[in-house]
Amino acid sequence: MSDNPHAGVPQEFRVPGHQVLTITGRDAVAFAQAQFMNDVAALPAGHWHWNGWLSPKGRVIALFALLRFDAETLWLILPDAHAEDLAAALRRYLFRSKLTLAVRDDLHAHGRFARPTQASGATFAIDGDAVELDVGGDGGPRTLRIAPATAADDAMAAAHWRRFDLQHGLPRLHGEQVEAWTPQQLSLERLHAFSVKKGCYPGQEIVARTHFLGKAKRGLMRLQGAGIGALGDVMAATPGEAAPAGARAIGQMICAEGDEGLAVMPLDAGDGPFSSDDRICRQLPLRDGLAR
């Protein structure tokens, strides 16, 4: 049975949680370049990439898709972070920058499990009053549209959208997971979501030191099992048996959809088996193709 119940079904549905924050003005690109972890200055107009904002300690506050329309217009599409909270935090660093941060409550995210009409890879497309992104990967085609109109709710499709994200190594960060992990611990190099070559930005020293000194000891692992949704500790287990009482946690589940999720695990954790919430879980390979 296919793990994509909506394959071949092109109708649009509302993608919950996504918000749009715009940065416009003469200093938009310079400000984003100084604050965010990926290279905004090197991003051509009409293209997008994964990006994020870090704490000074190099922990991920927000992860988002960043679209560059031109030298003075950027959009941040936030899957999880609250746009107004992020805007308020960023405004503390504006100083004399000539730009405006605006939450676009008039724009909504729509998803479709079908190939984009015009967008391809890292190139987005403008279709009337909508912006179209190619967010497919090895799990199949997928289109994200940002537009004023509101699509119908489809809980099953929305759950599969989130599951697709996790299968491809896009962590969905809420609550205690915000400011908990470095980009390397979230394996964000798989999404080309941060740069170690651009100039300074908050947390850059931590990111660069980890990269160049080879000190990354943990990364993302995709796990499947009945206890995944509890977002608990991950233990080493023996075949057919959960970890014994009092066993030490080796990893942490950080996000899940159904019986699949992502855990931050030691890079030398091996192939398992593992247990979470006292139930056996197994490792699945992370899918590729979502990097931009």
Q: Which of 74, 63, 89 shows the shortest CA–CA distance to 28?
A: 74
123 part of a folded domain: yes
Residues 262, 163 within the same domain? no
Per-residue pLDDT of 36-82, as tens digits, reads 999 999 999 999 999 999 999 999 999 999 999 999 999 999 999 99
Check: CB of residue 53 under 8 Å from CB of residue 74: no
Of 167, 185, 206, the residue that ends a domain is 167
Confidence at residue 3, expressed as pLDDT on a 0 to 100 scale: 57
Integer Cα distance of 180 and 55 in angstroms: 10
Residue 214 pLDDT level (bands cut at 50, 70, 90): confident
Residues 134, 66 within the same domain? yes
120 part of a folded domain: yes
Domain range for residue 92?
Answer: 13-167
277 part of a folded domain: yes
Q: What is the mean pLDDT of the chain?
A: 94
How many domains are contained in the chain? 2
Q: What is the CATH number of the domain that holds 48?
A: 3.30.1360.120
250 part of a folded domain: yes
Residues 163, 254 within the same domain? no
Per-residue pLDDT of 120-140, as tens digits, reads 999 999 999 999 999 999 999
Residues 18, 152 within the same domain? yes
Q: Which has more confidence, 247 or 140? A: 140
Mean pLDDT in residue range 238-244: 74
Instruction: Please provide residue 5's backbone torsions phi and psi, each rounded to the nearest 5 degrees.
Output: -70, -10
Residues 237, 108 within the same domain? no
